[in-house]
Structure 1
Amino acid sequence: MSTAPDPASPAAAEDPHEAAEGPEGQDTGDSPHTAATGPGNPAPAGGRDAAEGTDEADAADAEQADGPEADALEADAGGGDGPDAGLPGPAGPEAGPAGADRAEGGGGPGAEPLVSGRGGVGESPAGTGTDPGAGQDTAGAEPARPEAEQDEAAAEPAEAEAGQDSGGAETGAEAGAEPGAGQGADGAEPAAPVSEAQAELAAQKVERERIARRKAEREGPVDAGAKLSGRAADLLAAVRAVESGAKPPATYFDDAPATPRKAAPAPPQPRPAAAPPAPAPAVADIGAVRAVLARGGAPEALAGQTAAALGEGAAEQLTEDPWRLLAVPGVRPTQADGFAQALLGPAAGPADERRGAALLGWLLDQAAAKGHTALEAPVLEKALAQYGVPAPAETLEAAIGDGAVLVFHEPLGPPAAEDEEPPVRLLVGLEAHALAEEALADGLARLAGTFAAPADWSAAADGPAAELVRAVAAHGLVVHTGGEAARAEPAALSAAARRLGLRAVLAAHAPAPGAVTVAGLLAGTEGPGRDADGRFDLDLLIVLDAPQLDVERAAALVESVPDGARLVLSGDPGVLGSAGPGRVFADVLAARAFPQVVSRTPDPGPIGELVSGIGVGELNRVDAPGKEVVIVPVRDAGEAVHRTVQLVAESVPRAFGIPAEEVQVITPGHGGPAGTRALNAALKERLNPGPGRFAGFDPGDRVVHVPSPGRALPARVVSADAQGLHLDAGGARVVVPQDRVEAQVRHGWAVTAHQAVGSRWPAVVAVLPGDAAQALSRDWVYTAFGRAERHLSVVHGVEEALPHAVAQGLPKPRTTRLTGLLRALAAAQEEQP
Structure 2
Amino acid sequence: MSTEPEPPSTTENTGPGTPDDAPPAAGTPETDSVAATAEGPTSEPTADEPSPESPAADATDAESAADESARKLSEAEAELAAQKLERERIERRKAEKQGPIPAGTKLSGKAADLLAAVRAVESGEKPTATVFADPEPAPRRAAAEPVRRPQPVAAEPTATAPAPAPETVEAVRQVLAGGGAPEALAAQVAAALGEGAAEELGEDPWQLLRVPGVRPEQADGFARALLGAECAPDDERRGRAVTVWLLEQAALAGHTALELPALTAALAQRGVPDADAAVQSTLAEGEALAFQDAVEEPGAAPVRATGHEESEDSDGSDEEEAGPVRVLVGLERYALAEESLADGLARVVNSVAKETSTPWESAAASASGSTAELIRAVAGHGLVLHTGGEAARAEPAALLAAARSLGLRAVAACHTPDGRRRLAAHLDAADDADGFLVTLPGLLSGAEGPGRDTEGAFVLDLLILLDAPQLDVETAAMLVESLPDGARLVLSGDPALLWSAGPGRVFADLLAARVCPQVASRTPDPGPLGELVSGVGIGELNQVEAPGKEIVIVPVRDAGEAVHRTVQLVADSVPRAFGIPAEQTVVVTPGHGGAAGTRALNAALKERLNPGPGRFGGFDPGDRIAYSPVPGRTVPGQVVTADAQGLHLSCAGAAVVVPKERVEQSVRHGWALTAHQAAGSRWPAAVVVLPGDAAQVLSRPWVYTAFSRAERHLSVVHGVEQALAGAVAEVTAKPRTTRLPVLLRTQVPAAG
Classify the TM-score, shorter chain.
Answer: 0.7 to 0.9
Matching of residues 344-423 of structure 1 within 5 Å = 344-414=227-297, 421-423=322-324
User: What secondary structure is seen at the aligned counterpart in 1 of 2:124?
Assistant: helix
* Structure 1 position 277, deviation (Å): 3.1
* Structure 1 position 199, deviation (Å): 2.1
| 8 A Cα contact 1:701 1:747, kept in partner | yes
> Aligned in 2, Cα 1:597/1:198: closer, same or farther, shift over 3 Å?
same
Letter of the 1:780 counterpart: W
Instruction: Give the equivalent residue in structure 2 for 1:171.
Output: 49
| 8 A Cα contact 2:117 2:131, kept in partner | no
* Structure 1 position 775, deviation (Å): 1.6
* Structure 1 position 276, deviation (Å): 3.7
Letter of the 2:145 counterpart: A
Partner of residue 7 from structure 2, selected from 22, 25, 30 = 30
Structure 2, unaligned runs of 5 or more: 60-65, 302-319, 425-436
| 8 A Cα contact 2:151 2:482, kept in partner | no
Partner of residue 427 from structure 1, selected from 321, 324, 328 = 328
User: What secondary structure is seen at the aligned counterpart in 2 of 1:491?
Assistant: helix
Deviations 1:325-357 (A, max 9, x none): 111111111121122222222111111111111
> Aligned in 2, Cα 1:313/1:594: closer, same or farther, shift over 3 Å?
same
* Structure 1 position 379, deviation (Å): 1.7
Q: Distance in 1 between matches of 2:688 and 2:209?
A: 37
Letter of the 1:383 counterpart: A
Q: Distance in 2 between matches of 1:356 and 1:253?
A: 24
Partner of residue 207 from structure 1, selected from 86, 98, 102 = 86
Letter of the 1:203 counterpart: A
Instruction: Give the equivalent residue in structure 1 for 2:218.
Output: 335
Which protein is richer in helix relative to its size?
2
Matching of residues 528-543 of structure 1 within 5 Å = 528-543=450-465
Greater CA deviation, 134-143 or 626-635?
134-143
Instruction: Give the equivalent residue in structure 2 for 1:198.
Output: 77
* Structure 1 position 264, deviation (Å): 2.7
* Structure 1 position 700, deviation (Å): 1.4
* Structure 1 position 609, deviation (Å): 0.7
| 8 A Cα contact 1:225 1:260, kept in partner | no
Q: Distance in 1 between matches of 2:621 and 2:11?
A: 37
| 8 A Cα contact 1:318 1:324, kept in partner | yes
Q: How many residues align?
A: 692
Greater CA deviation, 213-222 or 707-716?
213-222
Mapped pair 1:822 → 2:724: no
Partner of residue 346 from structure 2, selected from 445, 450, 454 = 445
Deviations 1:191-229 (A, max 9, x none): 975531132123112112112202211222446999x99
Greater CA deviation, 784-793 or 137-146?
137-146
Partner of residue 292 from structure 1, selected from 151, 175, 190 = 175
Deviations 1:564-601 (A, max 9, x none): 10111111111111111111111111111111111111
Mapped pair 1:605 → 2:487: no
| 8 A Cα contact 2:384 2:516, kept in partner | yes
Letter of the 2:587 counterpart: V
Matching of residues 43-192 of structure 1 within 5 Å = 131-136=13-18, 156=41, 165-168=44-47, 170-172=48-50, 175=51
Deviations 1:47-80 (A, max 9, x none): xxxxxxxxxxxxxxxxxxxxxxxxxxxxxxxxxx
Instruction: Give the equivalent residue in structure 1 for 2:99.
Output: 220
* Structure 1 position 524, deviation (Å): 1.4
Deviations 1:108-166 (A, max 9, x none): xxxxxxxxxxxxxxxxxxxx9992534438999998999xx99966664x66xxxxx43
Instruction: Give the equivalent residue in structure 2 for 1:697.
Output: 619
User: What secondary structure is seen at the aligned counterpart in 1 of 2:650?
Assistant: strand
> Aligned in 2, Cα 1:267/1:828: closer, same or farther, shift over 3 Å?
farther
> Aligned in 2, Cα 1:252/1:824: closer, same or farther, shift over 3 Å?
farther
Letter of the 1:212 counterpart: E
User: What secondary structure is seen at the aligned counterpart in 2 of 1:720?
Assistant: strand
Letter of the 1:217 counterpart: E
Instruction: Give the equivalent residue in structure 2 for 1:261.
Output: 143
User: What secondary structure is seen at the aligned counterpart in 2 of 1:569?
Assistant: strand
Letter of the 1:816 counterpart: T
> Aligned in 2, Cα 1:144/1:628: closer, same or farther, shift over 3 Å?
closer
Partner of residue 811 from structure 1, selected from 707, 725, 733 = 733
Q: Distance in 2 between matches of 1:557 and 1:249?
A: 44
Matching of residues 437-516 of structure 1 within 5 Å = 437-451=338-352, 456-461=359-364, 462-464=367-369, 465-511=371-417, 512-513=420-421, 514=424, 515-516=437-438
Q: Distance in 2 between matches of 1:144 and 1:205?
A: 28
Matching of residues 749-788 of structure 1 within 5 Å = 749-788=671-710
Deviations 1:598-644 (A, max 9, x none): 11110111100110110110111111111111111111222212221
* Structure 1 position 319, deviation (Å): 2.0
Q: Distance in 1 between matches of 2:485 and 2:622?
A: 47
Structure 1, unaligned runs of 5 or more: 3-14, 18-27, 33-127, 160-164, 185-189
* Structure 1 position 413, deviation (Å): 2.1
* Structure 1 position 665, deviation (Å): 1.1
* Structure 1 position 401, deviation (Å): 2.6
User: What secondary structure is seen at the aligned counterpart in 2 of 1:209?
Assistant: helix
Q: Distance in 1 between matches of 2:225 and 2:78?
A: 40
Mapped pair 1:568 → 2:490: yes
* Structure 1 position 445, deviation (Å): 0.5
Q: Distance in 1 between matches of 2:748 and 2:134?
A: 27
Greater CA deviation, 676-685 or 784-793?
676-685
User: What secondary structure is seen at the aligned counterpart in 2 of 1:795?
Assistant: strand
> Aligned in 2, Cα 1:150/1:610: closer, same or farther, shift over 3 Å?
closer
| 8 A Cα contact 1:260 1:825, kept in partner | no
Deviations 1:546-576 (A, max 9, x none): 1111111110111011111011111111111
User: What secondary structure is seen at the aligned counterpart in 2 of 1:618?
Assistant: coil
> Aligned in 2, Cα 1:721/1:424: closer, same or farther, shift over 3 Å?
same
* Structure 1 position 258, deviation (Å): 6.0
* Structure 1 position 448, deviation (Å): 0.5
> Aligned in 2, Cα 1:572/1:531: closer, same or farther, shift over 3 Å?
same
| 8 A Cα contact 1:129 1:635, kept in partner | no
Percent of residue pairs bearing the same amino acid type: 63
User: What secondary structure is seen at the aligned counterpart in 2 of 1:623?
Assistant: coil
* Structure 1 position 246, deviation (Å): 9.4
Instruction: Give the equivalent residue in structure 1 for 2:205.
Output: 322
| 8 A Cα contact 2:567 2:604, kept in partner | yes
Instruction: Give the equivalent residue in structure 2 for 1:706.
Output: 628
| 8 A Cα contact 1:167 1:710, kept in partner | yes
Q: Distance in 2 between matches of 1:424 and 1:224?
A: 11
| 8 A Cα contact 1:705 1:712, kept in partner | yes
Mapped pair 1:270 → 2:152: yes
| 8 A Cα contact 2:460 2:487, kept in partner | yes
Q: Distance in 1 between matches of 2:30 and 2:81?
A: 37
> Aligned in 2, Cα 1:828/1:327: closer, same or farther, shift over 3 Å?
same
Matching of residues 677-692 of structure 1 within 5 Å = 677-692=599-614
Letter of the 1:436 counterpart: A
Partner of residue 303 from structure 1, selected from 186, 189, 193 = 186
| TM-score, normalising length: structure 1 | 0.77
User: What secondary structure is seen at the aligned counterpart in 2 of 1:456?
Assistant: helix
Letter of the 1:430 counterpart: L
| 8 A Cα contact 1:415 1:421, kept in partner | no
> Aligned in 2, Cα 1:394/1:181: closer, same or farther, shift over 3 Å?
farther
* Structure 1 position 167, deviation (Å): 2.9
Q: Distance in 1 between matches of 2:124 and 2:239?
A: 19
